[in-house]
Amino acid sequence: MAQYSRVSGTVGLITLLNPPVNALSAAVRQGIVDMMDKALSDRKVKSVVICGHNGKFCGGADIREFSSPLTGPLLIPVIQGVESAAKPVVAAIEGVALGGGLELALGCHYRIAHSKARLGLPEVHLGLLPGAGGSQRLPRLIGVPAALDIITTGRHVTAAEALKLGLVDRVTDRNTVDEAVKFALSVADQSPQSRRISTFPCPHHPDLDAVFEGVMQRVRQRARGALAPVACVQAVAAATLPFAQGMERERELMATLFTSGQARAQQYHFFAQRAVGRWSMPSGARWDKTKPVAVHKAMVIGLGTMGRGISVALVQAGVSVVAMETNEKQLMDAKQAISSMLERGAKRRGVAPALDKIRYSSDMQPAADVDLVIEAVFEDMALKKKVFQQLSALCKPGTFLCSNTSGLDVDQLASETRTPELVVGMHFFAPAHVMKLLEVVYGSRSSPQAVATAMELGKQMGKVSVAVGNCRGFVGNRMLKPYLEQAFFLLEEGATPEFVDQVLEEFGFAMGVFRMSDLSGLDVGWRVRKADGLPDGHSARIRQGCRYSPLGDLLCEQGRFGQKTGRGWYQYDKPGGQVAKPDPWLQDFLEKFRTQHGLVARRIDHQEVLERCLYALMNEGFRILEDGIAAGPEDIDVIYVLGYSWPPHRGGPMFYAAMVGLKKVLERLEHYHQEHPDIPSLKPCNLLRKLVVSGSPPVQKWREFLQKPQSQL
Ligand SMILES: CC/C=C\C/C=C/C(=O)SCCNC(=O)CCNC(=O)[C@H](O)C(C)(C)COP(=O)(O)OP(=O)(O)OC[C@H]1O[C@@H](n2cnc3c(N)ncnc32)[C@H](O)[C@@H]1OP(=O)(O)O
């Protein structure tokens, strides 16, 4: 809804009221219409101010309403009503003006923003475009290139930048509503006619065609098959037409996006990112019943790539850090690398680098005086255990002990300490100061407070933290295993790395499975597999009675560790080179391998690559839910979109399974399992069967079919 009052004698003040972000629900839209009528019919009122309740102008259209039939007045005529008002209307922008919120502000005749306000049109992240006139008014106000940038990236603009761009008329550090009221008084006698953006011509640009062409090319490259970014460019292109025609084009494009599965997927992802914050543990402990401990000082042990990124992320979150590394050369290199990362980050954010927040050590002693330790040494259980033993002896009571591990048993590490309840896994993703995902892994003895503290620290570091149970590979890497496995089997059966990667990249992954393996290094998984004992000789393709592909191991034996060695599944021009080229050596190697093992190469098509890789991965996701390692499908989907480059416009693997149809996924898995009975990951899991028998409920209902989560090893 919206509230109305008359202030300073002649200013009608309309306050949008829909906590927490004053989203433009049907009631708010109706409120704007009613309160505008009131202000316009009140003869004492000479000008109007629109503001938002509780320091937030407006977070945009109410996204929750998108999934049900529309009620109440439409946003476009509501904004047109504001723009065509005969009395000047001023938007008082505090907090955020996003999406429909900014579109409403663009319908006002003046915009006053608080210096800390953020403005933007982030609809592209929801699979949409600014469809309430935003794609037509913004370019008219600030020009096509700036509008294209804001609309296609969906980025938030600071008040300072907004002023520079001409998006707002004034920025203030004072009370924004008071300033807007003063401003409204000063313009009360002026006609709003010349301030209606819809009447502006689109500003001239010497080579608009080249601008659109360049942006469209960039957008298509980045979009990975997403429709919205392309539609955003098309909508802005229509701003060169008369306003009414541009609006019609905006409407057509919006209608296509609105009904697309992509918009549904991206809106699901929006809410899933928020849902994972409401974590729970097998004991019943929950996010809203557990208070995290504030972390002021932390120690990072091991300054390889991960330790450096973690240190930077902690410092940027305002935490004092002791960064520790025993190897002198590594320590020196890390100091330099961390300082320059901090300097670059500070420059980007327009602040001073917090170099004084970090100090370095070559021994463990400072651990005695910190609130939390993140161990980030090499992924080796014996080494990590030793570190945890030392920490247990050194740390003051109450210090949280966290391991940055990508899949090792957190319970084993905890058992090396006197305080297993204070031990959790914190699985960061490289580069740790950039990637948004954090898996927080609770062991069987982790206390709710340890989990709450790690979750909150992750949030403070700008991450989306997902609490997961303890099992090999946790959620992300556990699901990666059957996916990789299928890719290897497909090579054995006749596919090439280039073809498999092409299919997966067309699906929307940033990189296919083989390019990704080359980038992360083939030796990492090899070392883990060797520790488990590799099969050899005639049994090379069988492990524990099941089909096993030794291809990755054989490549590593040849010193082909991927991009860093210049050779892996592809060849590169030099070690560390970035351009992957098909390698004739590999082709020859695969042919010899097939001959040696009596395999006959067959033609493998696009559908088989997609189904075998993705359905095996999804099947493992169902198992993870069944085992209680993830509390719900949203947790898995957030992990895959934010950590494993799953395309956001496909929602995540569990959402995608529901989109494809659970029945179809089940049937295809049954088919492939019949063809390959020696591959257990293709055997459909019970939860999938149960969901199909129950009529394939939507993903939002799956939690009702899950057992209480529990830690399983
Ligand atoms: C017919 C269509 C016509 C016109 C086109 C217009 C389209 C749009 O406007 S689409 C919406 C565009 N706006 C956005 O994308 C903004 C989305 N929100 C955010 O980015 C953030 O929430 C925020 C920056 C506004 C605030 O961030 P923060 O303080 O970190 O809070 P949360 O993100 O946790 O959000 C709190 C709470 O509010 C819910 N919420 C936020 N925005 C919306 C919204 N636009 N509609 C509905 N609900 C919203 C959010 O889900 C949180 O609630 P839950 O924890 O219960 O999920």
The answer on 621 and 592 residing in a single domain is no
Establish whether residue 79 lines the binding site of ligand 1, counting it when its CB lies within 6 angstroms of any ligand atom.
no
The reply to whether 505 belongs to the active site is no
Q: Which of 83, 94, 103, 498 is the catalytic position?
A: 103
Instruction: Quote the number of domains for the chain.
Output: 4
- Which atom of ligand 1 is the closest one to the Cα of 118? 24
The answer on 187 and 90 residing in a single domain is yes
User: For residue 4, how many other CB atoms are within 10 A of its CB?
Assistant: 18
264 CA to centre of ligand 1 in angstroms: 15
Alpha carbon 3 to chain centroid distance? 36
The answer on 623 and 570 residing in a single domain is no
Asked if the ipTM is above 0.90, the reply is yes
The answer on 619 and 578 residing in a single domain is no
Establish whether residue 62 lines the binding site of ligand 1, counting it when its CB lies within 6 angstroms of any ligand atom.
yes
Say what the pLDDT of residue 537 is: 60
The answer on 453 and 566 residing in a single domain is no
Residue 269 domain flag? no
The answer on 377 and 323 residing in a single domain is yes
Element (H, E) at 316: helix 305-316
Establish whether residue 274 lines the binding site of ligand 1, counting it when its CB lies within 6 angstroms of any ligand atom.
yes
Establish whether residue 64 lines the binding site of ligand 1, counting it when its CB lies within 6 angstroms of any ligand atom.
yes
Both tokens assigned to 324: 């520790």
Contacts of 497 (CB under 8 A, 6+ apart): 491, 512, 514, 569, 570, 582, 586
Instruction: State the CATH number of the domain containing residue 187.
Output: 3.90.226.10
The answer on 297 and 364 residing in a single domain is yes
Say what the pLDDT of residue 536 is: 66
Residues forming beta bridges with residue 14, ordered by sequence position:
4, 50
Establish whether residue 126 lines the binding site of ligand 1, counting it when its CB lies within 6 angstroms of any ligand atom.
yes
Residue 270 domain flag? no
Residue 477 domain flag? no
User: For residue 428, how many other CB atoms are within 10 A of its CB?
Assistant: 25
Say what the pLDDT of residue 708 is: 61
Task: Please tell me the residue having the least CA distance from ligand 1 atom 56.
Answer: 274
Please say which residue of 472, 507, 535 terminates a domain: 472
Establish whether residue 63 lines the binding site of ligand 1, counting it when its CB lies within 6 angstroms of any ligand atom.
yes
Residue 690 corresponds to which amino acid?
K
Instruction: State the CATH number of the domain containing residue 380.
Output: 3.40.50.720
Establish whether residue 107 lines the binding site of ligand 1, counting it when its CB lies within 6 angstroms of any ligand atom.
no
Please say which residue of 217, 239, 258 terminates a domain: 258
**Separation CA 195–CA 108 (nearest Å):** 8
Residue 46 domain flag? yes
- Which atom of ligand 1 is the closest one to the Cα of 62? 46
The answer on 586 and 696 residing in a single domain is no
Substitution site in 16, 18, 21, 287 for ligand 1 pocket (most atoms within 8 Å of beta carbon) = 21
Q: Is 447 exposed, middle or buried (0-12, 13-18, 19+ CB in 10 A)?
A: buried
Is 23 strand, coil or helix?
coil
**Separation CA 141–CA 199 (nearest Å):** 10
Answer for the pair 317, 294: CB distance below 8 angstroms, yes or no.
Answer: no
Q: What are phi and psi of 348, to 5 degrees?
A: -60, -35
Say what the pLDDT of residue 63 is: 97
The answer on 53 and 193 residing in a single domain is yes
The answer on 569 and 548 residing in a single domain is yes
Say what the pLDDT of residue 532 is: 78
The CA-atom distances, in angstroms, between 488 and each of 70, 179, 313, 613, 614 are 48, 64, 35, 10, 13
Establish whether residue 85 lines the binding site of ligand 1, counting it when its CB lies within 6 angstroms of any ligand atom.
no
Phi/psi-derived region of residue 470, left when phi > 0, alpha when psi is between -120 and 50, beta in every other case: beta
Q: Which of 65, 83, 94, 123 is the catalytic position?
A: 123
432 CA to centre of ligand 1 in angstroms: 26
Answer for the pair 540, 596: CB distance below 8 angstroms, yes or no.
Answer: no
Instruction: State the CATH number of the domain containing residue 557.
Output: 1.10.1040.10
**Separation CA 442–CA 459 (nearest Å):** 17
The answer on 547 and 468 residing in a single domain is no
Entry pTM: 0.95
Please say which residue of 208, 242, 258 terminates a domain: 258
Residue 483 domain flag? no
120 CA to centre of ligand 1 in angstroms: 12
Task: Please tell me the residue having the least CA distance from ligand 1 atom 28.
Answer: 21
Say what the pLDDT of residue 713 is: 43
Both tokens assigned to 199: 């009447």
Establish whether residue 124 lines the binding site of ligand 1, counting it when its CB lies within 6 angstroms of any ligand atom.
no
Residue closest to 139 by CA, chosen among 237, 244, 249: 237
Establish whether residue 371 lines the binding site of ligand 1, counting it when its CB lies within 6 angstroms of any ligand atom.
no
- Which atom of ligand 1 is the closest one to the Cα of 63? 46
Is 438 strand, coil or helix?
strand
Q: Is 521 exposed, middle or buried (0-12, 13-18, 19+ CB in 10 A)?
A: middle
Q: How large is the angle between the packed helices 134-142 and 228-237, nearest 10 degrees?
A: 60
Structural domain harbouring 640: 606-628+631-705
DSSP for 466-532, written as a single string: EEEE-STTTTHHHHHHHHHHHHHHHHHHT--HHHHHHHHHHHT-SS-HHHHHHHH-HHHHHHHHHHH
Answer for the pair 232, 92: CB distance below 8 angstroms, yes or no.
Answer: no
Both tokens assigned to 71: 């009620």
The answer on 444 and 300 residing in a single domain is yes
Cis peptide before 648 (omega within 30 of 0): no
> Mean pLDDT per segment of 10 residues, for the chain of length 713 residues?
96 98 98 98 97 98 93 97 98 98 98 98 98 98 98 97 98 98 98 98 94 97 96 98 98 95 97 97 93 98 96 98 97 97 93 95 97 96 96 97 95 97 97 97 97 98 98 96 97 98 97 95 87 70 90 95 97 95 97 95 97 98 96 98 97 98 98 97 97 96 79 45
- Which atom of ligand 1 is the closest one to the Cα of 59? 25
The reply to whether 498 belongs to the active site is no
Both tokens assigned to 624: 């993870």
Residue 31 domain flag? yes
Element (H, E) at 407: none
**Separation CA 692–CA 419 (nearest Å):** 44
**Separation CA 162–CA 151 (nearest Å):** 14
Residue 277 domain flag? no
Say what the pLDDT of residue 711 is: 46
167 CA to centre of ligand 1 in angstroms: 21
Task: Please tell me the residue having the least CA distance from ligand 1 atom 34.
Answer: 274
Residue 435 domain flag? yes
